[in-house]
Amino acid sequence: MDFVSDALFDGRKFRCLTIVDNWSREYLAIVAGQSLKGTDVVSVLEQIWHDRGLIPQRIQTDNGSEFISKEMDRWAYDHKVTMDYSGPGKPTDNPFVESFNGSFRDECLNAHWFLSLEDAAEKIEAWRHEYNHYRPHSSLNDLTPVEYIQKFNKEHATLIPLPGASSSKRMFSKGSKMMRKMTRKTSIQMKKRKT
């Protein structure tokens, strides 16, 4: 998770909270706002949990006030999420999100003129959808993030889909050998949603 700053056409500043799954390279959320706080970060994580059934086991962030807030600390504690903070002034501690944010800035923020926060949110969501569904990555064997997830789901019977969920809404079985292997590799690992 990280923040990226930009401005509307009239110079008013806004920020975007970006949440990337380092394993699948999927942008799980990009939320624009003028005053995003720890409670907003928690709300976005709760929305991902509600919509997708995903709770990270570990979240890698910088030491921004939103990420070290009491609300975020409480949420992480309640959901048994490990917070992995970058060292001060060390963006290289979180290289995946920095790389993704560079692409986001170059291909979306710098390419559009935003008339309002609503306009920004609409254009950003369209870019996120295109990025996840139509943009292949060499690190994913030239598959898009959504294709990579779907392929993984087909190949690994240890995945347990949410009732009524599409194949892109996945969950992992806690005892899965693949799950244990993935937890060593990724920055944001998902665990089975508690019901």
User: HEC states along the chain?
Assistant: CEEEEEECCCCCEEEEEEEEECCCCEEEEEEEECCCCHHHHHHHHHHHHHHHCCEECEEEECCCCCCCCHHHHHHHHHCCCEEEECCCCCHHHCHHHHHHHHHHHHHHHCCCCCCCHHHHHHHHHHHHHHHHHHCCEHHHCCECHHHHHHHHHHHCCCECCCCCCCCCCCCECCCCHHHHHHHHHCCCCEECCCC
- pLDDT over 90 at 94, yes or no: no
CA–CA separation, 1 and 60 (whole Å): 6
User: Does the structure show a pLDDT above 90 at 119?
Assistant: yes
State both tokens at 36. 């995003």
Rounded CA-CA distance 17/35 in Å is 11
Q: Measure the CA–CA gap between 190 and 195, rounded to whole angstroms.
A: 15
Residue with tokens 């920004």: 120
pLDDT score for 86: 83
The pLDDT mean for the chain works out to: 82
Residue 80 has pLDDT above 60, yes or no: yes
Residue 160 has what pLDDT?
53
pLDDT of 111 higher than 70: yes
Closest CA to 110 of 98, 118, 97, 120: 120
How much is the average pLDDT of 9-32? 94
In this model, does residue 167 exceed pLDDT 70?
A: no
> Is it the case that residue 157 has pLDDT exceeding 60?
no
85-94, 96-105, 178-187: the lowest-pLDDT one: 178-187
Tell me the whole-structure pTM to 2 decimals.
Answer: 0.77
Do 187 and 22 contact (CB within 8 A), yes or no?
A: yes
